[in-house]
Chains A and B, each alone.
Chain A
Amino acid sequence: MAKFGIKVKVNGVERAAEVEPRLLLVHFLRENLRLTGTHVGCDTSHCGACTVVLDGRAIKSCSVFAVQADGREVLTVEGLEQDGKLHAIQEGFFQEHGLQCGFCTPGMLMTGYAFLKSNSNPTEDEIRNAIAGNLCRCTGYVNIVKAYQYAAAKLREGGEK
């Protein structure tokens, strides 16, 4: 089957590759680019461990073909930290103990990153609704909600971070 040339900006860096059309975005990130922070969990579009931000929207990278990302921008968990400083959402998970095994965490972080851009002062209900597509089997979500609240407060006071 014919390969397809794509150019995708991943974490600010332009990456070009020849890929089979059936290659899923998550495999492009993990196997072609070796960005293994994005996890494959259920592989059936339920768990959200593979969440990345595509042109500003959080999506499940196991349910999008890499060719669909041609000419677009992807942000993965590897792109959150800037100049050696954790992003506020990462700091929130660190401070509030928002993870145990850590498997869902990259997806939770990317959903949170996109969500807090559109809602800087969310209620607990809004946070719980925002993470409805991200499953966590360890925390019971309580500390994840706290981590989002921490990040929201930090972003509100600091602007950047």
Chain B
Amino acid sequence: MIPRSFEYFAPQTLDEAVSLLGKLGEEAKILSGGQSLIPMMKLRLATPPYIIDINRIPDLNYITELNGFLRIGALARESDFEVSPTILSRYPILMDTTVVIADPLVRNQATACGNLAHGDPANDHPATMLALGASIIAVGPSGEREIPVESFFTSLFTTALRPDEILKEIKVPIPAPSSGGAYLKIKRKVGDYATAGVAVQITLNGSGVCQLAGIGLTNVGFVPLKAKETEAFLTGKTLDDATIKRAAEIAAGESQPIDDIRGSAEYKRDLVRVLTARGLNRALIRAKGGA
């Protein structure tokens, strides 16, 4: 399958990329990992007349903790997460997320920033970033601005990025001590999108009470969902079995799945319930220093 013809630009700096984007207008598409964009172009679901390839821009491939935040650069590949000492030692939720995306070959190209910028509710990083309370740094003609991931996904395949902005970085607040998280996904086979996925991140205080809870849901709505009622319910509670059971029911109620080839809405809602309970239990173990 051959994509429609397009004009190709390979800028050497971010400034150059932004100015190209401003000049070419909203029909131009940014190419980073290309593992969603290129298949869509081959199927002619996307026919952008201009491609701006940001892969030649130096210094965008980083996963690093700096000034209170974990910072993930636009060209950090999924497979970079799997070998990052920072991720391996301190962010099991991100490791959970990365290893269930597509397959190892796709992960060698695909980027986490692209996974957000694409705006697909079936992608996995959005739920995790919602749970972690992350934001993104967008760079445009008038400089940088920060957008909370919570307000980033505006509708199906649509984000708060303006047509002249590039997603430069994901910024995750470094979790406080006694925090733990997990991402769980049910899929039919390797390479499939989630039938449903749930990301959980919690912080406990000295007496084991949940101080902060983040819950994100994958592919059970037209946008990635933040389960705010569940988060509010969990905050200030000790996470015993009855609380976890109730939280899982609330999360299921907050999901908005539809019937499709991956299952009925009813089945997916129940998956959200089961995965939320499992996720909370795993996050609790991790918050207490376990694996």
Min Cβ gap A17→B in Å is 14
Chain A-chain B contacts (Cβ-Cβ < 8 Å), number: 84
Does the CB pair B6–A21 fall under 8 Å?
yes
Of the residues B4, B43, B102, B106, contact of A22 by C-beta under 8 Å: B4
Stretch at the interface among B34-42, B62-70, B127-135, B147-155: B34-42
> Given the complex of chains A and B, what is the CA–CA distance between A22 and B42 in angstroms?
9
| B10 touching A64, Cβ below 8 Å | no
Could you tell me the distance in whole angstroms from the C-beta of B36 to the nearest C-beta in chain A?
A: 9
A7 part of interface (Cβ distance < 8 Å): no
B4 touches A48 (CB 8 A): no
Stretch at the interface among A88-96, A129-137, A148-156: A129-137
A64:B102 contact, CB within 8 angstroms? no
Contact residue among B38, B55, B104 (Cβ-Cβ distance under 8 Å from A63): B38
**Cβ-defined contact, B190 with A132, below 8 A:** yes
* Interface size of A as a range: 20 to 34
Which residues of chain B are within 8 angstroms of A133 by Cβ–Cβ distance?
Answer: 102-106, 190-191
Quick one: CB contact mask for A22-37 with B, threshold 8 Å, 1 for yes? 1010000000000000
Query: Contact size class for B?
Result: 20 to 34
> CB < 8 Å: which of B3, B8, B31, B35 contacts A45?
B35
Q: Are A21 and B51 in contact (CB under 8 A)?
A: yes
**CB contact under 8 A between A21 and B7, given known A46-B191, A59-B109:** yes
Query: Which one of B10, B43, B79 contacts A57 once the chains associate, using CB atoms below 8 Å?
Result: B79
Minimum CB distance partner of A129 in chain B: B104
Q: Does B158 contact A (CB under 8 A)?
A: no
Mark B223-238 against chain A: 1 for CB-CB distance below 8 A, else 0. Answer: 0000000000000000
